[in-house]
Amino acid sequence: MTEYSLYLGCVIPTLYPHVERAVRDVLSSSEVRPAEMASVSCCAPNYMFGLSRQSWLALNKRNLGLATGTILTACDECFASLQDARQAISEGGKGMPEVKPFLVFLSDQQETLKKEARSLGLRCAIQHSCHLLRPSKVRMVDNPDNPVLMKKALEVVGCTSVPHEEEMSCCGGQASGKLNPGKELAAKKIASARGAGADCIVTTCAHCLNHLTQNSPQFPVLHVAQLYALSLGSGPSSVGVPNRLVRKGASQQ
């Protein structure tokens, strides 16, 4: 069995502890017991590369060196940063631990988790994070033009993926400018999801989660781990799922 080391990043433990709880609850229901990566640092995601590539590489060489097995990331920007550093540090990542995003882990554990999962009955608009899919020749996770892993993951917990016009667009989390394009992109994403009749937006990236949540005080935005944890028996409040979503899911079944 593959050995894993859990890398939670900075955003989830500091801003979204209920997502961390959800990730850990899902892991406890899987066949995997990952090792903790004690004293890891920030992965310095891509917007910091331009400040100091040398510092970024040094940070992640240390992070990669602390792993005792395949690194499992709960955030797609962490996945992208660690994967890029792995490639840059040693030709093609030779001798360095593999890096696996949470969504791929869910796919690997699908049969095990399906046995315990109950149907949630929610209609979910997917936020496909840019850093999970592109550049596709480096990430090699899913089809960047027609991704299916998140849709399949939602099916396991009895949720329906709702197509919407802005499904493949960026959330705008790193967009900047005088006219605040990041806020505009987030607003379009949220309006598109609501207009399609979704109950919530679901993502696998902590930065997408943070940006869309900041721009959506009323419409729920969740990490997929929260839905999985709820489906596997975690209490809604412990993993940050609003009770209105629980009631809505029950009424739609």
In a domain, 111, yes or no: no
Query: Do residues 136 and 231 share a domain?
Result: yes
pLDDT of residue 162: 97
Query: Do residues 70 and 190 share a domain?
Result: no
pLDDT of residue 93: 64
- Around Cβ 37, how many Cβ atoms within 10 Å? 18
CA distance 200 to 253: 16
Query: Do residues 93 and 24 share a domain?
Result: yes
CA distance 74 to 206: 8
Task: Read off the tokens for 149.
Answer: 């892993």
CA distance 164 to 166: 6
pLDDT of residue 99: 96
How many domains does one find in the chain? Answer: 2
Segments forming the whole domain that contains residue 81: 4-106
Query: Do residues 234 and 130 share a domain?
Result: yes
Query: Do residues 77 and 178 share a domain?
Result: no
Amino acid at 125: A
Query: Do residues 241 and 182 share a domain?
Result: yes
Global model pTM greater than 0.85: yes
In a domain, 30, yes or no: yes
Q: What residues in the chain have per-residue pLDDT under 50?
A: 177
In a domain, 18, yes or no: yes
Task: Read off the tokens for 176.
Answer: 């900047």
Tens digits of residue pLDDT in 147-175 = 999 999 999 999 999 999 999 998 987 65
Query: Do residues 202 and 138 share a domain?
Result: yes
Query: Do residues 102 and 134 share a domain?
Result: no
In a domain, 112, yes or no: no
User: Can you name the residues that pair with 146 across neighbouring β-strands?
Assistant: none
| Residue at a domain's end among 80, 106, 132 | 106
| Residue at a domain's end among 76, 106, 136 | 106
Query: Do residues 87 and 173 share a domain?
Result: no
In a domain, 214, yes or no: yes
| Residue at a domain's end among 36, 71, 106 | 106
In a domain, 128, yes or no: yes
CATH of the domain at 178: 3.40.50.11810
